[in-house]
Amino acid sequence: MYIKRAILSAVSFAKRATLPLGSLSSSHIHTSACSRKAEDRKEMLASLPAKDEGTVGEKSVDIDTLINRKAKFFPDATLATQLFNGMPFNELPVCNIRVSPNNTIISVTDYKGVPRLIRSCGIEGFKNTRKGTNIAAQATAVSISAKAIELGWKTIRVKVRGLGPGRMSAIKGLQMGGLNIVSITDNTQVSWNPPRPRKQRSL
């Protein structure tokens, strides 16, 4: 037993003696620990589930193919009477999305403008600053699309107004809820004479 330990210590000493002096520092030990940490990290990342980007239910359209086929995806004079799922375009229900930095309000009206459904992030249970997030807007859109399908509406038009984090998320939520979006209109008001900025603070 003692002879084995003596031989092992002699072998380890001989190995250290053959190494240059600079390699016997703590950096040599440190690099081996780093490589072990890197391997552990790779194993941990490999064991994690696949990252979900939140694109479930998203519909992608290849615009180049539509242009080559000369499909009609720009509005013209005949759009008002064009049939979508058996209904003329001007009689489709309208989903109005009002986006602000602090909240997202989604309402569904019939073609005459009479409101039938209205939901907001606050109604869905999000409080304070969470109302202004894109996740809250998407959850609100999914819930209101389920209620619109209960009313028998499958195909809708979308009008977006305002600037905030919930613009695209609300539209994605409507698609995820099962609604077929025919057109998207941006009704955001633009001020051509905005108020003057405050004067620079004097220190």
Res. 64: pLDDT tops 60: yes
**Is residue 50 very low, low, confident or very high in pLDDT (cuts 50, 70, 90)?**
low
Q: What is the pLDDT of residues 20-35, one digit of tens each?
A: 544 444 444 445 555 5
What integer best gives the mean pLDDT of the chain?
Answer: 79
Task: Tell me what percent of the residues of the chain surpass a pLDDT of 90.
Answer: 42
**Is 153:93 a contact under the CB 8 Å cutoff?**
yes
Res. 179: pLDDT tops 60: yes
Tell me the HSE value of 8 on the side-chain side, using a 13 A CA sphere. Answer: 5
In the numeric block, the tokens 């209101």 are attached to 144
Q: What is the pLDDT of residues 135-145, one digit of tens each?
A: 999 999 999 99
- Dist. CA 114–CA 112, nearest whole Å: 6
Edge-first strand listing for the sheet containing 115-120: 115-120, 104-109, 94-99, 155-161, 180-186
CATH of 95-186, one of 3.30.420.80, 2.60.40.420, 1.10.760.10, 2.60.120.10: 3.30.420.80
Task: Tell me what percent of the residues of the chain surpass a pLDDT of 70.
Answer: 69
| 25 vs 51, higher pLDDT | 51
For residue 158, which of 79, 89, 82 has the smallest C-alpha distance? Answer: 89
Query: What pLDDT was estimated at residue 82?
Result: 84
